[in-house]
């Protein structure tokens, strides 16, 4: 407000000086041009002009200053109030209150953009904090089982209840490996959910990625006696993808399908190309299946439809599908699952947008 008053005062002083210097001289010149040469008349006219000029200038300055002051006060309040509210909101966010109300209105598009940017920042911080809190709670729950197992075995060996033999050490190594895998997956899940994986998207042939992933998984399928079938189209459009990350998704889906398909079962990997400017990669099995009310839950962190199976049948960390879906969404794609229930098998579908109409022969 002080700055506004200084501007108004400087403008008023400049106006007065300019008027005093210019107006009398102009009046005198115009009076001379009328041909009036009577000293008395000229003196009276000049005195009348000076008097009326001073009164008019004074009234005009009072009116102008009053109007300018009111307008300035209005503008200052329009500008200052949102800034003060933003400052209060910043203090609240700094104190950890991310649900603070951010002013949406303001004088000018710049303040509106600032408010929108601040609101977006607060929402991102709130989401990050919620993710951190939830992940810490999940982590505390998830590490309890392997730690309890390790503690039980150590206590049992100390009390000579558990023999210090190869099977006991094997169980303990499995629990250590589980904790190590959990730590790695947890770090990647956090990066995936924060969209900080640093994807490098290039035009990629999805058929080649699928073929490589199937080739890498095939030995495990052969060992268990599960048939792994690959169905590729004659041609397939390119997708904008990070090939390594898409391979990671497919490896996780193939590993899940193998764990939940009994010996003698069949897992089919197929590509359906190009409709609606997208390529879909489907992994279909005739294994355990998923209950309909659990279809959305399986993508949540640490969710397992059968916790006992995860512990006793080589289950993963419970983060693989969470990471896989986050990677798919960072590709502007999707990862979904369909199943009619237990014992009916399941179908995971990865959808990726195409990047150009060019088509490549399938492998």
> What confidence score (pLDDT) does residue 363 get?
43
Q: Are residues 271 and 297 in the same domain?
A: yes
Whether residue 12 lies inside any domain: the answer is yes
Whether residue 129 lies inside any domain: the answer is no
> At 5, phi and psi to the nearest 5?
-65, -40
> What confidence score (pLDDT) does residue 350 get?
94
d(CA 189, CA 139): 12
Tokens of residue 20, six digits: 């005093």
More confident position, 138 or 348: 348
Whether residue 117 lies inside any domain: the answer is no
How many separate domains does the chain show?
A: 3
CATH number at residue 175: 1.10.287
Say which range, 86-95, 173-182, 268-277, has the weakest mean pLDDT: 86-95
> What confidence score (pLDDT) does residue 8 get?
66
Q: End of a domain among 107, 126, 143? A: 107
Q: Are residues 302 and 350 in the same domain?
A: yes
> What confidence score (pLDDT) does residue 106 get?
56
Q: Are residues 207 and 330 in the same domain?
A: yes
| Interacting residues of 326 by C-beta distance below 8 A, sequence separation 6+ | 189, 192, 193, 195, 197
- Predicted confidence (pLDDT) per residue in 127-157, tens digit: 777 767 776 776 776 677 788 888 898 998 9
> What confidence score (pLDDT) does residue 314 get?
47
Q: Classify each residue of 290-318 as buried b or exposed e, where b means 16 or more C-beta atoms within 10 Å of its C-beta.
A: beeebeeebbbbbbbbeeeebeeeebbbb
Q: End of a domain among 168, 193, 218? A: 193
Whether residue 302 lies inside any domain: the answer is yes
Q: How confident is the model at residue 268 (pLDDT cuts 50, 70, 90)?
A: very high
The answer on pLDDT for 78 being more than 50 is yes
322 neighbors 333 (Cβ within 8 angstroms): no
> What confidence score (pLDDT) does residue 285 get?
93
More confident position, 48 or 104: 48
Domain containing 41: what range?
2-107
Q: How confident is the model at residue 5 (pLDDT cuts 50, 70, 90)?
A: low
Rounded mean pLDDT, 278-289 = 91
Instruction: Please report where in the chains the tokens 């991102």 appear, as a residue.
Output: 124
Q: Are residues 25 and 53 in the same domain?
A: yes
- Predicted confidence (pLDDT) per residue in 163-191, tens digit: 988 988 898 998 888 788 777 777 777 77
Rounded mean pLDDT, 193-206 = 82
Q: Are residues 210 and 345 in the same domain?
A: yes
> What confidence score (pLDDT) does residue 356 get?
58
> What confidence score (pLDDT) does residue 3 get?
62
Q: Are residues 100 and 213 in the same domain?
A: no
Residue 210, helix vs strand vs coil = helix
> What confidence score (pLDDT) does residue 228 get?
93
More confident position, 242 or 14: 242
Tokens of residue 137, six digits: 């709670």
Q: Are residues 218 and 277 in the same domain?
A: yes
Rounded mean pLDDT, 104-112 = 64
Whether residue 119 lies inside any domain: the answer is no
- Predicted confidence (pLDDT) per residue in 246-259, tens digit: 999 999 999 989 99
> What confidence score (pLDDT) does residue 308 get?
44
Compute CA distances 301 → 165, 192, 285, 312, whole Å: 35, 12, 23, 19
H or E element at residue 115:
helix 109-158
The answer on pLDDT for 358 being more than 60 is no
Q: Residue 134: CA atoms inside 13 Å, Cβ hemisphere, count?
A: 13
Say which range, 179-188, 303-312, 339-348, has the weakest mean pLDDT: 303-312
**Average pLDDT score, the chain:** 79
Over pLDDT 90: what percentage of the chain? 21
Q: Are residues 238 and 322 in the same domain?
A: yes
Q: Are residues 228 and 329 in the same domain?
A: yes
Q: Are residues 247 and 357 in the same domain?
A: yes
> What confidence score (pLDDT) does residue 104 get?
65
Whether residue 120 lies inside any domain: the answer is no
Q: Are residues 146 and 209 in the same domain?
A: no
The answer on pLDDT for 310 being more than 50 is no
Instruction: Please report where in the chains the tokens 């079962």 appear, as a residue.
Output: 265
Q: Are residues 189 and 206 in the same domain?
A: no
> What confidence score (pLDDT) does residue 105 get?
58
More confident position, 42 or 330: 330
The answer on pLDDT for 283 being more than 90 is yes
Whether residue 114 lies inside any domain: the answer is no
Whether residue 26 lies inside any domain: the answer is yes
């Amino acid at each position: 407000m002080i700055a506004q008053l200084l501007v108004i005062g400087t403008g008023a002083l400049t106006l007065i000086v300019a008027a005093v210097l210019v107006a009398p001289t102009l009046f005198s010149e115009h009076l001379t041009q009328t041909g009036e040469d009577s000293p008395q008349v000229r003196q009276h006219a000049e005195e009348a002009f000076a008097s009326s000029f001073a009164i008019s200038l004074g009234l005009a300055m009072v009116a102008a200053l009053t109007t300018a002051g009111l307008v300035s006060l209005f503008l200052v309040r329009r500008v200052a109030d949102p800034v003060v509210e933003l400052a209060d909101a910043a203090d609240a966010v700094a104190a950890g209150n991310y649900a603070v109300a951010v002013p949406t209105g303001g004088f000018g598009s710049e303040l509106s953009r600032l408010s929108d940017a601040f609101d977006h920042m607060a929402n991102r911080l709130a989401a990050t904090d919620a993710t951190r809190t939830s992940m810490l709670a999940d982590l505390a729950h998830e590490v309890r089982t392997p730690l309890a197992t390790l503690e039980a075995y150590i206590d049992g060996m100390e009390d000579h209840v558990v023999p210090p033999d190869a099977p006991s050490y094997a169980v303990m190594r499995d629990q250590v490996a589980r904790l190590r895998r959990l730590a790695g997956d947890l770090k990647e899940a956090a990066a995936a959910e924060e969209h900080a994986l640093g994807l490098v998207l290039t035009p990629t042939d999805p058929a080649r990625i699928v073929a490589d992933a199937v080739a890498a998984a095939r030995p495990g399928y052969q060992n268990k006696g599960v048939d792994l079938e690959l169905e590729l189209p004659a041609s397939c459009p390119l997708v904008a993808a990070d090939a390594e990350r898409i391979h990671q998704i497919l490896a996780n889906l193939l590993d899940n399908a193998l764990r939940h398909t009994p010996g003698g079962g069949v897992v089919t990997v197929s590509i359906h190309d190009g409709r609606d400017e997208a390529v879909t990669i489907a992994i279909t099995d005739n294994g355990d299946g998923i209950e309909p009310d659990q279809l959305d839950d399986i993508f949540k962190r640490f969710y397992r439809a059968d916790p006992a199976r995860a512990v006793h049948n080589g289950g993963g960390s419970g983060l693989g599908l969470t990471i896989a879906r986050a990677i798919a969404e960072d590709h502007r794609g999707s990862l979904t699952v369909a199943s009619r229930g237990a014992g009916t098998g399941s179908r995971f579908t990865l959808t990726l947008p195409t990047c150009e109409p060019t088509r490549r022969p399938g492998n």
